[in-house]
Amino acid sequence: MILLLFGIYAMVTARLRISRRYGLKGEGARVAGVACAFLSLTFFTVFEGPITSLAHAFGLAGDDAALVAFPLQIVALVLILVGLVRAYGNAYENEPAPVPMKSVPAKRALWWGGLVALTSYWLEAVKGDISGYRLALAIPVPLVAPAICFWWYSRSKSRQRRTFIPRLLGYLLFGLGTEGVALVGVRLCATGVDSMNVKLACASLAMIAGSYFLVFAGSVPNTQQGAA
């Protein structure tokens, strides 16, 4: 799905930046977008035979064949992109380094935190099997997600924004991370501390930390006001 969205973005914007000084623009970017969409939608169907044979060679069967298919899909994508850059030229070779955007307080993160808190409590507590005192304990737990969003908002006032692609990835990670934090809190009230909940909590916090460094760069002395 991510590869399909990546391809649609390249086709619409006619830009595909692979790294800071390597990528495609114009027709080359649109061709690359078509290739990304093709790999996303038809790769497993077109190459089902070779993938199944390789999976059997490695002693894998059934759903485990995806362990072979995913690396092959990545290799195919890399080869296609490298070939297109050679054919159409590197559009970003001589482009100057982008200037980080000045930060604007991310007020929408606060709305996101409240939405995550309400939905996680509803899905996991009200619609789940939690009852009695555990249900009462689960009420304040999802508020951790808005607390993280308030922290994000306060930090956004003194940080510069990175360019579009890392910022977009950062927002996706931030959404997944805050949702994971809210859900694991309610699950802890329902099932107690277990290895799955601990792993989910660690992964969620790691996503939030990673998203912070993807979205924000250095600090700025004077910050503009407004909504992100």
Residue 100 belongs to some domain of the structure = no
| Between 219 and 29, residue with greater pLDDT | 29
Contact 197, 191 (CB under 8 A): yes
Last residue of a domain, one of 55, 88, 121: 88
Residue 95 belongs to some domain of the structure = no
Same domain? For 78 and 153 the reply is no
Same domain? For 213 and 113 the reply is yes
Full-model pTM? 0.48
In this predicted structure, the answer to whether residue 47 has a pLDDT above a threshold of 80 is no
Q: What is the domain count for the chain?
A: 2
Same domain? For 9 and 54 the reply is yes
pLDDT, tens digit, 9 for 90 and up, residues 136-166: 666 666 677 778 888 888 888 888 888 888 8
Model pLDDT, residue 227:
39
Which structural domain range is residue 78 located in? 2-88
Last residue of a domain, one of 27, 58, 88: 88
Same domain? For 59 and 138 the reply is no
Contact 90, 22 (CB under 8 A): yes
In this predicted structure, the answer to whether residue 189 has a pLDDT above a threshold of 60 is yes
Buried b (16+ CB within 10 A) or exposed e, 74-95: eeebeebbeebbeebebbbeee
